[in-house]
Structure 1
């Protein structure tokens, strides 16, 4: 077996460390795949290596030229884009028998797919989430009113013309019903349980586009549309529940479940998706069992990733409906607790790149946050000073992010030790008995004066599920991903820190902030 190897990877102006536990791969393609998966690099790139004789970078054509601690560089290449436009399907072609799948997986005519070059094949791919019948878009900043049936569009056009000429409003019950039916199906493409603000945005967009639909009896002009859309949405959910839509059927009164409604709490797009049309519970269970062996095979990431994607819906049903303990999930789905798979599962749930999105916004707000930390007074000021001194000792990116994250907890009057515990003078694995009392914790060791590197791990429900993470910020990213992946609620003592991660850094449900979070965000944007 090859010895573990590390490579220095240059990505634009950033330097990253790539750990290869099984040594340098045999081919450039395998190394590119490792760079992509471990460092979260987009598809369109090639690798160059630093030649020590010339002191310059050259194209990497063989991994035989590389050795431990060599430097490689990611060189991005331009992507080629093709716009795919939906066309009307002939009426004599039958459609799917499931209204649920057709609603969730419908593709807008404005969708764009990129040509991705892998190996020797040029393949045109639809959005990976859409191809799996999953939602791929969050609620838009401005809700676009969909096109209505032809006869309804003609009626609305005539109504608008009459309103502009004579100020006469359109009062047509059948048209109102058709409009409501179309709008709730469009809403369901984004979420099954829209908030009042979201429904309000739809109603407002409707009367802005079709002022003939205004209601003179209400101050806003659309109060009746609010009630109408909410009632239609409830009726539509009931219909889909009867058809077996999982994210709705889970709350059926026929199922013996807790009274609390099981629905997305952290802006998940695909909280409880339906099973793929070509799979059933038996075939997906066989894939789960195969995964237990696949993860033990070297250089088998591609096969593992494909099967994890195929089993996503059955895994979500197990997690949401049964709420199994973390220890049981670790036994049944060990691949789920791999760093790469946590990021992929998070992307399937939210359609967002976890690491790049969080780090990008964290770095964007860092200077402003540090300025706020310096302005603190009282007991918080003393705690902040102890943290800020660490920046003088190490100005590296990881340490800077570490200080900013710890400072957030101090800013919110939360205890850093509720999230992070450091074990001094610990060599080898941490003692399981020491971890039993931790419900949710990032544990660290190393990083001492003798030069030993700091290692971070994650403990959930007394079980260490992650180890060997390179920094506290990295552990925070993966911990947040795990809380989405295995459907955990934020701990109350740290609720503001995790709210900041989710709503400010990831921009998920960013329109619904607590007063304390809104105050901080206003300061950051001032």
Structure 2
């Protein structure tokens, strides 16, 4: 189909642009959504036609290649999308990616600056005395959200935020902040999508892709040896890393099973959100720690799935960009498990050498392969 469409296009125009292919892909998907739309378990990815655009463009490039002179003088590349935008503005665009309430303009009607400070001190005391309920924390986080965002958006250090807003780094507090920031229920979205999609993704990675890709096959053998108790979530995350060719050490740092937070050698831990695993394997670990900016901010997480949610939530709550070494895994989790699905932009660290895509091409490839796997 792609070959036929491109052949017809190039009879009319020898050099179709991305705008041309995008318009055609959009029309095709709107006409045949059940066959062509980028969907995984009912969730539309991006605008729904990015993978078709990618296929059309790839075919056009292949057809044009035979007409391209083998020796051409390279022109200096200019990145018009980024060069004309100041660094501060670029960072702001990335920080607000996927957010619906990044910086509220006004305090709640019932609040004053003084009442916000009092609530903050109350929370610090509650956290220190360990005397609180989940509902109390949710209400206080919600009512002080305005002040939290002000502190975060003026680049307050993670250590200072940890001292001033300790609940932000724990399950209930981060989940409520994330809900206010993105409109998504952090834990509920993840566990709902995990129940719905995990088995199909695992089945595909273990059968179809493991036969083609040595790295995934090696990871499967390693997982079989390490597996202490069954955990579909753990297995899925590790296989996704292998599928995208991204290294575990960018997401996990392993320490001795009995290690305390103050004993972790932080210079070896990534600066981006990372899980410190107390043990030699994510399967057998009884405790995980959350590290942000090479600071342990939560040293008592007992469930791997909860640890993944806190790690992912940290990228949004604290305006942190995805590292290049985890860009595909994190975007796949973002779109397919946390239901954050912007049509444009990126959360990945920007680079002049790398093109910016509305949806990561490798994520689109996995989604297309999963869709094909449904029919086999």
- With the length of structure 2 as denominator, give the TM-score of the two structures: 0.63
Q: CA deviation at 1:459?
A: 1.0
Find the aligned partners of 2:216 and 2:317 in 1 and give their Cα distance. Answer: 36
For 2:221, the equivalent position in structure 1 comes to 386
Find the aligned partners of 1:390 and 1:353 in 2 and give their Cα distance. Answer: 35
Residue in structure 2 matching 1:461, options 293, 296, 300:
293
Alignment of 1:276-291 (within 5 A): 276-291=108-123
1:267 and 2:98 correspond: yes
Alignment of 1:88-237 (within 5 A): none
Q: Please give the secondary structure, in 2, of the residue aligned with 1:296.
A: helix
8 Å CA contact 2:169–2:298 kept in 1: the answer is yes
For 1:318, the equivalent position in structure 2 comes to 151
Q: Please give the secondary structure, in 2, of the residue aligned with 1:275.
A: coil
Q: Please give the secondary structure, in 2, of the residue aligned with 1:442.
A: strand
Deviations 1:166-199 (A, max 9, x none): xxxxxxxxxxxxxxxxxxxxxxxxxxxxxx97xx
8 Å CA contact 1:363–1:401 kept in 2: the answer is no
Find the aligned partners of 2:290 and 2:363 in 1 and give their Cα distance. Answer: 26
Deviations 1:90-143 (A, max 9, x none): xxxxxxxxxxxxxxxxxxxxxxxxxxxxxxxxxxxxxxxxxxxxxxxxxxxxxx
Q: CA deviation at 1:309?
A: 1.4
Q: CA deviation at 1:430?
A: 3.8
Alignment of 1:277-356 (within 5 A): 277-301=109-133, 302-320=135-153, 322-356=154-188
Q: 1:348 to 1:369 in 2, by over 3 A?
A: same
Q: 1:394 to 1:277 in 2, by over 3 A?
A: same
Which has the higher mean CA deviation after the structures are superposed, 466-475 or 372-381? 372-381
For 2:38, the equivalent position in structure 1 comes to none
1:444 and 2:295 correspond: no
Residue in structure 2 matching 1:517, options 357, 363, 371:
363
Q: CA deviation at 1:433?
A: 5.4
Q: Please give the secondary structure, in 1, of the residue aligned with 2:128.
A: coil
Greater strand share, structure number: 1
Deviations 1:436-481 (A, max 9, x none): 4421321111478xx9862111111121111221233321111111
8 Å CA contact 1:447–1:455 kept in 2: the answer is no
Supply the RMSD in Å over aligned alpha carbons: 3.1
Aligned length: 268
Q: Please give the secondary structure, in 1, of the residue aligned with 2:359.
A: coil
8 Å CA contact 1:288–1:311 kept in 2: the answer is yes
Q: 1:394 to 1:269 in 2, by over 3 A?
A: same
Q: 1:366 to 1:510 in 2, by over 3 A?
A: farther
8 Å CA contact 1:387–1:407 kept in 2: the answer is no
Q: Please give the secondary structure, in 1, of the residue aligned with 2:331.
A: helix
Please list every run of 5 or more consecutive structure 1 residues that lacks an aligned counterpart in the other structure. Answer: 1-195, 198-256
- With the length of structure 1 as denominator, give the TM-score of the two structures: 0.46
Find the aligned partners of 1:293 and 1:466 in 2 and give their Cα distance. Answer: 17
Q: Please give the secondary structure, in 2, of the residue aligned with 1:293.
A: helix
Q: 1:524 to 1:510 in 2, by over 3 A?
A: farther
Deviations 1:479-515 (A, max 9, x none): 1112222221111111111101111112212544221
Find the aligned partners of 1:275 and 1:389 in 2 and give their Cα distance. Answer: 53
Find the aligned partners of 2:193 and 2:217 in 1 and give their Cα distance. Answer: 27
Q: Please give the secondary structure, in 2, of the residue aligned with 1:317.
A: helix
1:473 and 2:305 correspond: yes
Find the aligned partners of 1:268 and 1:435 in 2 and give their Cα distance. Answer: 30
1:434 and 2:265 correspond: yes
Q: CA deviation at 1:432?
A: 4.2
Find the aligned partners of 2:184 and 2:96 in 1 and give their Cα distance. Answer: 16
8 Å CA contact 1:388–1:403 kept in 2: the answer is yes
Find the aligned partners of 2:341 and 2:241 in 1 and give their Cα distance. Answer: 21
Deviations 1:139-167 (A, max 9, x none): xxxxxxxxxxxxxxxxxxxxxxxxxxxxx
8 Å CA contact 1:432–1:463 kept in 2: the answer is no
Please list every run of 5 or more consecutive structure 2 residues that lacks an aligned counterpart in the other structure. Answer: 1-45, 48-86, 344-357
Q: 1:455 to 1:313 in 2, by over 3 A?
A: same
Q: CA deviation at 1:388?
A: 4.7
Q: Radius of gyration: which is bigger?
A: 1
